[in-house]
Amino acid sequence: MKILIATQKPFAPEAVNGIKAIADEAGYQTEVLEKYPDEAALCAAVKDADALIVRSDKVTATVLDAAPKLKIVVRAGAGYDNVDLSAATSHSVVVMNTPGQNSNAVAELVMGLLVYTVRGFFNGKTGTELRGKKLGLLAFGNVGRNVARIAKGFDMDVHAYDAYCPADAIEKSGVKAAPSADSLFENCDIVSLHIPATPETKGSIGYDKVMKLPKNGILLNTARAEVIDEDGLIKAMTERPDIRYIADIAPAKAAEFAEKFPGRYFATPKKMGAQTKEANINAGLAAARQIVGYLKDGITKFQVNK
């Protein structure tokens, strides 16, 4: 059996070594393909792989067609919008993610970006503090919960709305449950997005929602660029010169945001949320263990294309 680790954005070496150790113990081979230039390179590498570990790498029908022996793909991370699930299912390939393994890393980045933003991108001028501000979490999964935990240490007033998590479960975590996504935008100084990119969420954050933000509102996106309706956000930020947009992954119209909204827009040059040694180790090793668990014992606990 051969596991291919295909990561355009490489894991920390410790994570790669940990994956190799788990594979060795199971009697499996490993191959590492990092910083590869294009889909063709992935197709060439995957041709004799039984299992594939990826990050945000795109696993398309073309990649699956090029992998006749492939049995399982594990997205070492939370969001699996980069894997063509229906193509995987029709190729009889199991797809899994590793939920929760990198969520602390993303949550720490959220707080770092917030401090950076309210201190004017460290421009030397007087900023504001996070203490006492209302933070609205749109979705209360693993990342949202970790942000809530850390934000409480900043004495922030934390609110959350999650279409799939009941209000009482949110309240049990010591967070105020909002009745709707709109109410978060109406009531919170900062709205932080933690929704996956799905057909329902893509383009769902746009003009109407952003215009509801109170004065000096901040929209923070460490989820996915695709959940934003960029034209709607640009229109809102043009009409409301007090609103700021901060993202961990540049929008498609990054140049327009940068030109039109200096001092009110920032995006990381590369998606940084899960880019810590610890998150790489947690997610990478979980992926390797899940592959061994599936190939040896048929365990499908984290399968997402059931």
Contact residues: ligand 3PG, CB under 6 A: 9, 55-56, 77-79, 102, 271, 273-275
Quickly count: other Cβ atoms within 10 Å of residue 243's Cβ. Answer: 22
Hey, what long-range contacts does 43-50 have (CB within 8 A, 24 or more apart)?
A: 43/67, 45/4, 45/6, 46/4, 46/6, 46/70, 48/2, 49/2, 49/3, 49/4, 50/1, 50/2, 50/3, 50/295
With respect to ligand 3PG, which residue has the nearer C-beta, 204 or 282?
282
With respect to ligand 3PG, which residue has the nearer C-beta, 11 or 265?
11
Dist. CA 173–CA 138, nearest whole Å: 15
Quickly count: other Cβ atoms within 10 Å of residue 239's Cβ. Answer: 11
Query: CB of 138: closest distance to ligand 3PG in angstroms?
Result: 15
Query: CB of 15: closest distance to ligand 3PG in angstroms?
Result: 11
Query: CB of 194: closest distance to ligand 3PG in angstroms?
Result: 10
With respect to ligand 3PG, which residue has the nearer C-beta, 102 or 192?
102
Exposed e or buried b per residue across 248-284, where buried means at least 16 C-beta atoms within 10 angstroms of its C-beta: bbbbebbeebeeebeebbbbbeebbbbbbebbbbbbb
With respect to ligand 3PG, which residue has the nearer C-beta, 17 or 82?
82
Report residue 142 as tokens: 């693993």
Query: CB of 168: closest distance to ligand 3PG in angstroms?
Result: 27
With respect to ligand 3PG, which residue has the nearer C-beta, 146 or 237?
146
Token pair 């696993």 is found at: 59
Main-chain phi, psi angles of 37, to 5 degrees:
-75, -35
Dist. CA 42–CA 10, nearest whole Å: 14
Query: CB of 279: closest distance to ligand 3PG in angstroms?
Result: 8
247 touches 240 (CB < 8 A): no
DSSP assignment string, 187-219: H-SEEEE-----TTTTT-BSHHHHHTSPTT-EE
Report residue 53 as tokens: 């570990």
With respect to ligand 3PG, which residue has the nearer C-beta, 7 or 159?
7
Query: CB of 102: closest distance to ligand 3PG in angstroms?
Result: 5
With respect to ligand 3PG, which residue has the nearer C-beta, 141 or 217?
141
Main-chain phi, psi angles of 290, to 5 degrees:
-65, -35
Query: CB of 56: closest distance to ligand 3PG in angstroms?
Result: 3
With respect to ligand 3PG, which residue has the nearer C-beta, 4 or 213?
4
Dist. CA 83–CA 87, nearest whole Å: 9
Query: CB of 224: closest distance to ligand 3PG in angstroms?
Result: 7
Q: Which residue is nearest to ligand 3PG (CB)?
A: 77
